[in-house]
Amino acid sequence: MKRIMILSAAAFVLSACCSQPKFEGPVYLNPNAHVEERVEDALARMTLEEKVGMTTAQSKFSSRGVPRLGIPEVWHTDGPHGIRPEVLWDEWDQAGWTNDSCTAFPALVNLAATWDKEMSLLYGRSIGEEARYRKKDILLGPGVNICRTPLNGRNFEYMGEDPFLAGAMVSPYVKGVQENGVAACVKHYAVNNQEFQRTQSNSVVDDRTLHEIYLPAFKAAVQEGGAWSIMGSYNLYNGQYNCHNKKLLVDILKGDWGFDGVVVSDWGGCRVSEEAILNGLDIEMGTWTNGLRGAASDSYRNYHMADPYLKGLREGKYTTKELDDKVRRILRLIFRTSMRPEPNYGRFVCPEHYQAAREISAAGVVLLKNEDNVLPLKVAEGAKIVVVGENAVKKMVVGGGSSNLKTAYEVNPLEGLQNAFGDKAEVVWVRGYVGDTSTSYNMVDTGQDLTDNRSPEVLIAEAVEAAKDADYVIFVGGLNKSAHQDNESTDRYDTFLPYGQQDVIDALAEVSDKFVVVNISGSPVSMPWEDKADAIVQGWYGGTESGNALADVLTGKVNPSGRLPFSIPFKYEDGPIKTERQYPGIKEEGDQFWQTHYDEGVYVGYRWYDSKNVPVQWAFGHGLSYTSFEYSDAKAAKASMKADGTMKISVNVKNVGECDGHEIVQLYIADPVASIDRPAKELKGFEKVYLKAGETAMVTFEIDAADLSFYDVAKGGWNAEPGEFQALIGSSSADIRATVPFELK
């Protein structure tokens, strides 16, 4: 693996002094100097060729430094859930290292389901430590694209359907990563909400929808999280590729938001040289994603921003204004990461990271239904628990696209339950159905053999027979990371369980009176079999400790506190996507691109269902506990607020059950009378509170005019109209426990 390693400040000084003796005491080498001084000093020493060289890749996952000045390369790595195994210099194939098995953290949708900002900070710190240990400078994540449609193959990599939730959860993650001297690269910017024709899809979105739904999480990452890098997306927005989209990158990101970091192209996302140069792209990666095949002998030198850029500069086609801005940003990132003054060596695959992964995974498990308190499992000595389903044993870390990981180990749900009960109970597994039997992806293999040629009828009969005398039957099914499920580059076909799983559920329900269904997925799965199950649990791709975390919740070691980060409809057709024009888009004769029209506007997820009075199977924010909570005495600190002021809204929450637990108190704002059509309610706050049995706590939210605003297209900015508003406090978008009216003066 080619890599220039600079080990100390002394090495930098020696390099600079030998090549540039006329400069004494260069500021950029002084670790105590202000970053901007170091940037300007280094920039002044660089040649035109060196500046241009920093803007493009030199390998699959690294971009150039300036060896003459001791400025190191920039090393990038997937992904948002763990540190990708090393690949060859010019190819996607694994490099065959034996020391790159990482801690696999839960998928980001699992993190979002915790509704816990402290968990997000823990996640960011932990994965940032792993990235720093592996000497990575940019972590390609987190992803915050909105779950516009439940069919999007990459929903599992994102943080749900609500921009406020995603924004609140992304900021601590970014801060945690960057504490380690690793840049978080928030992706995929922006309006990138489907995998179908992702590189040829033009998102046609009005300004209000763009600013209210699809940009807030990115804005929070930049302005609240302080993100040091952003990744452009493959698609186009309003006719221009997003990796060099002037409105998104120059006008909004770097202009309105004041972003001072680096814009990185998605791999192969840079398409037009002049746009890339002029429209805000800073580092071009992966333009020829098949290594050196199909391009010139040195394809990296032929990238849009490499030799063609240099040629244009020499010929006077471009000035150095844009180039110097790009290089300043790259240098700033380097001085914040690999050349930061504070040494940080990180940690890798350590007990602390395994524990963090387990806690985060368990905190995101959502208890959807619990009839007759069948959960937690109450197991007597010698009891028999029958576990059915391929997802009970299938390892889920491998696959899914660029988030594919090689992990030190992975505990599956069956192993988690066996670990939990030990010799106390007999925990047996029967297959039930055959799904995806593949066990490898990009040369990472789970070592499992899942082949099974028996018919569905035989498999169901076997499961029923085993279940007849069981004390509990636990079906573990759902989706996986194969094509057209939770997977990069393909979208799902529908929202129902694949592989005939409903037939297995129907059969098991007939023979068990303690029947638990655990759905493992990263996207909404409709559940027409809901009434057949005594308890339903929404699990996720929980990473290294997934099985142990799930068992913690099922056994009651952890009282479930996860909440849905998206709505689960009865069927896809109930949602806001009604036409082919909306999704997957239409391609007119002679048109180069698929046109995807966001005609639903701001009515995404619960905004649609609640505003249009369309019932859902499980509401956004829904999740049960093994205890119960009562809300009382909700009030505003005053009856009205001024446009330049704030207001506190409080509610008392009491644990009226018999065990300790967490409640997630959610604040929605409604604007009943407005000059434009607004959703019935919008999430504007949430707090996770821990209460012992019988304990009461006051939960307080503070809101300001921004929380009451809509994006006013006529004004080109945010507008909070004076008048009556309502603060709606509850445990989900459909379970509002208190309404507090107030006025904006």
User: In terms of Cα–Cα distance, which of 481, 363, 392, 498 is closest to 79?
Assistant: 481
Catalytic-residue membership of 266: yes
Spatial separation of the C-alpha atoms in residues 636 and 647, rounded to whole Å: 7
Give phi and psi for 145, each to the nearest 5. -70, 140
Give phi and psi for 380, each to the nearest 5. -85, 165
Q: What is the DSSP letter of 697?
A: E
CA 41 to chain centre: 37
- How far, CA to CA in Å, does 451 sit from each of 272, 454, 487? 46, 9, 21
User: In terms of Cα–Cα distance, which of 161, 156, 274 is closest to 213?
Assistant: 161
Structure tokens at 212: 């209210």
Determine which one of 78, 116, 137, 266 is catalytic: 266
Q: Are the CB atoms for 486 and 521 separated by under 8 Å?
A: yes
Structure tokens at 284: 């071009």
Q: Are the CB atoms for 446 and 439 separated by under 8 Å?
A: yes
Spatial separation of the C-alpha atoms in residues 307 and 17, rounded to whole Å: 29
DSSP assignment of 233-279: -SSEETTEEGGG-IIIIIIIIIIIS---SEEE--TT----HHHHHHT
Q: How would you classify the pairing of strands 183-189 and 535-539?
A: unpaired
CA 169 to chain centre: 9
Q: Are the CB atoms for 484 and 372 separated by under 8 Å?
A: no
DSSP H helical ranges for 365-441: 413-421
Helix, strand or coil, per DSSP, at residue 712: strand
Encoded amino acid at 663, one letter:
E
Residue corresponding to tokens 């967490």: 662
| Residues carrying an active site annotation | 266
